[in-house]
Amino acid sequence: VKGRSKNSSCSAPGPTGVPILGNLLQLGRKPHLTLTSFRQKYGDVYQITMGSYPTVVLNGLRAVKHALVKQAEDFAGRPDFYSFRYIANGKSMGFSDYGAKWKLHRKIAQNALALCANRKYNPIEEAIVAEARLLALNLQKSDGAPVDPHNEIYLSVGNIICALCFGERYRRDDPDFQQLVKNNDEFMAFVGAGNPVDIMPWMRHFTKRSFRQFLRILETMDGLCLKKQREHLATYDSARVRDITDALIMATEETPKDDKKATGLTDEHIMTTLQELIGAGFDTIASTLQWSILYMITNRQWQELVHSEIHNLYGVDSTPNFHDMSELPLTEATILETMRHSCIFPFALPHSTTSDTEIGGHFVKNKTLVFVNLWSVSHDPEYFPEPDVFNPKRFLNDTCTKVDRSKAELFLPFGVGKRRCPGEILAKMELFLFFTVLFQTCKFSVVDGETPIVDSKYGLTLKPMNFNVLVSKRQ
């Protein structure tokens, strides 16, 4: 191991920073592009300083898998960020550090999700298709006038996560539902990777106003989930689990007291999982769907091919089914390419080391902040020639009749290892069903005289810039 020293957090090379800010000013408005470009000079593993945090940046498939799979425990931690302490009153699973408490919490969350969405039995599928049809109908109502699909998509996807968590789809004008959608937008804007309060803890004295606003968002979310939890408790029947709230109530009752005591996991922790799944399962799907429409209007010929494929299998009226995915290779390849090209989580969630370790021959100290550069994986020219070009064919075999699984494994939209996204199956199912219904029933095109910009706004997730489309009904 090179340069092992008790005083330095990491012995890997990296760009020189300035006092207090470290390398923050060098990151620019697109940190994922800047950090990917540093790979050429410093290699797959290098270090930067994010304000007061020494940070290891992992680049490319090999280094990322080496750290997160081969040395899974060493790299499975989360940093002790100031804002993380407040999310779900510090009882969050996704934002809490690695250890026995996190393990038990994660197992419970995974089981609750699996009860409602798994590969064999998907009670939520019907609700997704109904919501996708409503979305298509609402978009078609624009009747030839330009429409920004953002709001309708957020309302539809938000409603699915509500159906999953609370067992009911809301009317669009329900005040609880509108509050939830608004909260989600504000939350995502605040928790962007590189939030100054986290990166430079002394900043918290200067940003009291915005931090108070952040706490207000969290409080409203708490209130809403608590209300739903009370309603569920009043009607709970262990023989009939209706949704994730019920599944979590069951978990709080069934998890042995000794396990809870030994790990410090309380019933309150378990119930905060609701907030977490709403937060995680909303923005991710909605922005990926927005990206897919943007790619389809800027690649019109491909949109026609995808529509024909879906139309050949289902006609205009039949209902798409998640189990049919293998019969729709162009559709699946388009969804894969949408996820690869947009790469909505360029740095996953921030990781942290859980012990002194080493990677790529470099020493890394316990509790060092780690950025997993997923953008560098999905835009690696070694595996994806011309990575900036949107080309679903890269995921297909030569005759375009099958998805080439080995290619699909070369990028990691859901992360990998211990912190891998627990919502992956649900996400794949939602993306597939929304996408097929939309492109089965609607034709999307560019507004005359407008050139859509295929570029992202930087935040915790990368979202497309707002854009308008023309939507017409397919006959």
CA distance 461 to 472: 29
Residue with Cβ nearer ligand HEM (211 or 434): 434
Residues of the shown chain interacting with ligand HEM in the complex, contacts defined by CB under 6 A: 93-94, 106, 276-277, 280-281, 284-285, 288, 344-345, 348-349, 372, 413-415, 419, 421-423, 426-427
Q: Closest distance between ligand HEM and the C-beta of residue 306, in Å?
A: 18
Residue with Cβ nearer ligand HEM (181 or 470): 181
Q: Is 472 helix (H, G, I), strand (E, B) or coil?
A: strand
Contact 398, 390 (CB under 8 A): no
- Distances, alpha carbon 333 to alpha carbons 198, 238, 310, 330, in Å: 38, 41, 13, 5
Q: Which residue has the tokens 């992202």?
A: 456
Q: Closest distance between ligand HEM and the C-beta of residue 202, in Å?
A: 26
DSSP state of 18: B
In 51-208, where do the E strands start and end?
53-59
C-alpha triplet 147, 150, 155: angle, nearest 5°: 115
457 contacts: CB under 8 Å, gap ≥ 6: 463, 464, 465
144 contacts: CB under 8 Å, gap ≥ 6: 470, 472
Q: Closest distance between ligand HEM and the C-beta of residue 346, in Å?
A: 9
Q: What's the one-letter identity of residue 11?
A: S
Residue with Cβ nearer ligand HEM (160 or 470): 160
Residue with Cβ nearer ligand HEM (113 or 139): 113
Q: Closest distance between ligand HEM and the C-beta of residue 470, in Å?
A: 26
Contact 50, 23 (CB under 8 A): yes
Q: Closest distance between ligand HEM and the C-beta of residue 427, in Å?
A: 4
Q: Closest distance between ligand HEM and the C-beta of residue 102, in Å?
A: 7
Residue with Cβ nearer ligand HEM (314 or 337): 337
Residue with Cβ nearer ligand HEM (106 or 463): 106
- Distances, alpha carbon 201 to alpha carbons 50, 53, 369, 420, in Å: 11, 10, 14, 28
Q: Closest distance between ligand HEM and the C-beta of residue 76, in Å?
A: 8
Residue with Cβ nearer ligand HEM (17 or 392): 392
Residue with Cβ nearer ligand HEM (11 or 461): 461
Q: Closest distance between ligand HEM and the C-beta of residue 148, in Å?
A: 21
In the numeric block, which tokens belong to residue 119? 């590969």
- CA end-to-end distance (rounded Å), the chain: 65
Residue with Cβ nearer ligand HEM (158 or 413): 413
Per DSSP bridges, beta strands 369-373 and 53-59 are parallel
Residue with Cβ nearer ligand HEM (379 or 443): 379
Question: Which stretch of DSSP H or E encloses residue 175?
Answer: helix 175-190
Q: Closest distance between ligand HEM and the C-beta of residue 226, in Å?
A: 19
Q: Closest distance between ligand HEM and the C-beta of residue 207, in Å?
A: 25
Q: Closest distance between ligand HEM and the C-beta of residue 429, in Å?
A: 9
C-alpha triplet 312, 284, 176: angle, nearest 5°: 105
Listing DSSP states for 367-430 in one string gives: T-EEEEEHHHHHT-TTTSSSTTS--GGGGB-TTSSSB-HHHHTTS-TT--GGG--TTHHHHHHH
Residue with Cβ nearer ligand HEM (329 or 415): 415
